[in-house]
């Protein structure tokens, strides 16, 4: 008989069509093997070219605590599919969130710089009388 320490579990919240939320508890009697975890910590890194831009193209549950994830590297066009643990997929999701935050920050900075440049050009054109009432 297994002891409580030997049982690994995972809780997932599910929203039913009625709008009611329930919690489903999945139990896994064994620990994850080293092979499952090997390389799974860095799903965002391409094994072919080393790019840190790998992203998921599809995913679905593959058991109670595993996910089947299809991946794509935009640099070298590598594609692959694998089965990964919930922990590995959560780490991948956190890395994707960090990447999204970084892209959002860069977009805001670029938009601000472009707007500043447009304002300076418009202001210079006004000062030089290059903009007339007919332009509007």
pLDDT digits 0-9 by tens, 25-83: 655 544 343 334 445 568 999 988 999 999 999 999 988 889 999 999 999 999 999 99
pLDDT above 70: residue 5? no
- Count structural domains, the chain: 1
Residue 41: CB atoms within 10 A of its CB come to 14
Q: Is residue 49 part of a domain?
A: yes
Structure tokens at 27: 């139990």
pTM: 0.59
Angle among Cα 55, 41, 62 to the nearest 5 degrees reads 70
The tokens of 121 are what?
A: 């050009």
Domain membership flag for residue 13: no
Residue 121 counted as domain residue: yes
Residue 85 lies in a domain: yes
Domain that holds residue 87: 32-128
Q: In the numeric block, which tokens belong to residue 77?
A: 């066009």
In a domain, 75, yes or no: yes
Q: Judge whether 8 lies within some domain.
A: no
């Amino acid at each position: 008989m297994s002891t409580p320490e030997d049982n690994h579990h995972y809780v997932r919240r599910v929203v039913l069509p009625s709008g009611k939320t329930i919690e489903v508890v999945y139990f896994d009697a064994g620990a994850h093997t080293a092979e499952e975890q090997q390389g799974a910590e860095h799903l965002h890194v391409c094994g072919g070219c080393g790019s840190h831009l790998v992203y998921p193209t599809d995913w679905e549950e593959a058991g109670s605590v595993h996910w089947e994830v299809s991946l794509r590297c935009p640099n070298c066009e590598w594609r692959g599919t694998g089965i990964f643990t919930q922990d590995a997929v959560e780490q991948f999701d956190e890395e994707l969130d960090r990447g999204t935050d970084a892209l959002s920050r860069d977009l805001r900075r670029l938009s601000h710089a472009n707007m500043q440049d447009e304002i300076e050009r418009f202001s210079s054109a006004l000062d030089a009388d290059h903009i007339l009432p007919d332009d509007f």
